[in-house]
């Protein structure tokens, strides 16, 4: 894949009260959305488990995001199965 | 929602070389899969960015998992749009 024409965006984001500079070829708005999602999860875990270390807060947040991913994957697969079953009925 | 009949599973998992005990009503196998996914991402980031602190490694891993989630969401939505467009053709 030739990405030579893609420019690199450098975006300043705030996650868990810290500023990070993220770089990527994705649009700045996309990078900001990713960061906002992670920040939301990390903040949620930090507020609900105030005794956890920062590392463990981020690990638990990563697990919650993975749960979102797995749930969506399952929903998608179930939909595809239904869709495929309906195609066979045609 | 009544979850009173759900038993709580307590699962020992290894993420980034550390052992964690995760609790949840999900089957142990599901919790292990979540942990394995997070461990894979954290290990990948740690190996590729050895100078990052552990917190920043986990933050970056969480961002990569969120990117997986957003990509799947976009794919699913595009599929639903196509599916809906086809329904209208019927």
Residue A86, token pair as written in the block: 């309906």
pLDDT averages per 10-residue partition of chain B, 90 residues: 68 95 93 97 97 96 98 93 73
Considering only alpha carbons, which residue of chain A is nearest residue B19? A56
Which residue in A59, A70, A77, A86 has the most chain B C-beta atoms within 10 A of its own C-beta, making it the best mutation to test that interface?
Answer: A59
Q: What is the pLDDT of residues B57-66, one digit of tens each?
A: 999 999 999 9
Q: What is the pLDDT of residues A32-89, one digit of tens each?
A: 999 999 999 999 999 999 999 999 999 999 999 999 999 999 999 998 888 777 767 7
Residue A28, token pair as written in the block: 């700045």
State ipTM.
0.87
What is each CA distance from A60 to A15, B11, B57, in whole angstroms?
15, 14, 13
Contact flag A62-B67 (C-beta cutoff 8 Å): no
């Amino acid at each position: 894949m030739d990405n030579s024409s893609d420019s690199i965006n450098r975006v300043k984001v705030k996650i868990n009260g810290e500023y990070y500079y993220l770089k990527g070829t994705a649009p700045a708005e996309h990078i900001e959305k990713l960061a906002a999602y992670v920040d939301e999860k990390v903040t949620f875990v930090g507020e609900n488990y105030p005794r956890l270390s920062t590392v463990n807060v981020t690990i638990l947040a990563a697990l919650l995001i993975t749960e979102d991913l797995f749930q969506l994957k399952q929903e998608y697969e179930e939909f595809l199965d239904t869709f495929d079953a309906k195609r066979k009925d045609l």
